[in-house]
Amino acid sequence: MRLYRALLLLVAIAALATAMDTSAGARLAVRSAGAQASAARAGVPLAGTWDSGPFPIARVRAAALAAGYPAALITRFFREVGFGSAKTVEFNAHFYRQDGHALVRRTGWDPTKGSMPSDGDWGPYQLLPHGRMVITTSDPGNTIRDFYTYRVHGSTLVVHAIREENPSFTLTKLRLDSVHLFFFSASPLKKIS
């Protein structure tokens, strides 16, 4: 009789555990569906304009150095893009939708030389799992894919550079061009609209 009761108790515990797992799974599915609906209502999660405000260009250099880029390469890149003597930089990212596509325009400039230029690098972006995003910039005959991690804390966007992909570049040219990733990631951006 004791063995029978023990067996019934084990069966009851197993049934209860299965019911609890199913219930937890159902709660998780409901939460997940709610989160997806909320994200859908929000449209583009990063929608709007984010701006770093002026910050020392030394932060860009420090971020690239910390990622293993040689100082000479960073200096060369700064010279090639017109930041050779700059002390200050500002970065702006405008995320928007057009014709059903998620797009971003990124602009970096020296605010001591004037206001934000009207142009910038633009192209589609995609949010990936685990807080990552990829931004594709297409110039004639040249497709660049920039990978970042991102986090939004209220009205602050924090971005970290991962890598750049460009099959038309040599490894040397790719390493040089990848320095641009740190302009976007060297300082948090505040949502301004």
Measured in degrees and rounded to the nearest 5, phi and psi for residue 108 equal -120, 140
Indicate yes or no: pTM above 0.85: no
Q: Are residues 124 and 160 in the same domain?
A: yes
Q: Which residues pair with 142 in a beta bridge?
A: 139
Q: Are residues 96 and 19 in the same domain?
A: no
Helices 71-80 and 58-66: crossing angle in degrees, nearest 10, is 140
**CB atoms closer than 10 angstroms to residue 181:** 24
Per-residue pLDDT at 96:
94
pLDDT in tens, 95-146: 999 999 999 999 999 999 999 998 888 999 999 999 999 999 877 777 899 9
Q: Which residues pair with 92 in a beta bridge?
A: 51, 107
Q: Are residues 84 and 127 in the same domain?
A: yes
**CB atoms closer than 10 angstroms to residue 58:** 13
Count of domains observed in the chain: 2
Q: Are residues 148 and 84 in the same domain?
A: yes
pLDDT in tens, 164-189: 999 989 999 999 999 999 999 999 99
Per-residue pLDDT at 163:
96
The length of the chain, given as a count of residues: 193
**176/156 Cα distance (integer angstroms):** 29
Cβ–Cβ under 8 Å, residues 93 and 123: no
Taking residues 70-90, report their average pLDDT: 96
Residue 89: which residues within 8 A CB-CB, separation 6 or more?
52, 54, 55, 56, 57, 60, 83, 108, 109, 110, 111, 183, 186
**CB atoms closer than 10 angstroms to residue 79:** 11
pLDDT tier, 45 (very low <50, low <70, confident <90, very high otherwise): confident
Q: Are residues 1 and 65 in the same domain?
A: no
Q: Are residues 28 and 84 in the same domain?
A: no
Q: Are residues 38 and 59 in the same domain?
A: no
Q: Are residues 32 and 98 in the same domain?
A: no
Per-residue pLDDT at 44:
58
Residue 42, pLDDT above cutoff 50: no
**CB atoms closer than 10 angstroms to residue 163:** 13
Residue 90, pLDDT above cutoff 50: yes
Per-residue pLDDT at 119:
85
**CB atoms closer than 10 angstroms to residue 64:** 25
Counting residues of the chain whose pLDDT is more than 70, the rounded percentage is 77
Both structure tokens of 37: 């609906």
Quote the domain boundaries for residue 3. Answer: 1-42
Per-residue pLDDT at 40:
34
Per-residue pLDDT at 140:
72
**102/100 Cα distance (integer angstroms):** 7
Q: Are residues 37 and 60 in the same domain?
A: no
**8/100 Cα distance (integer angstroms):** 58
pLDDT in tens, 5-41: 433 333 333 333 333 333 333 333 333 333 333 333 3
Of 46-50, 66-70, 134-138, 151-155, the least confident: 134-138
Both structure tokens of 64: 């690239």
**CB atoms closer than 10 angstroms to residue 119:** 8
Q: Are residues 111 and 136 in the same domain?
A: yes
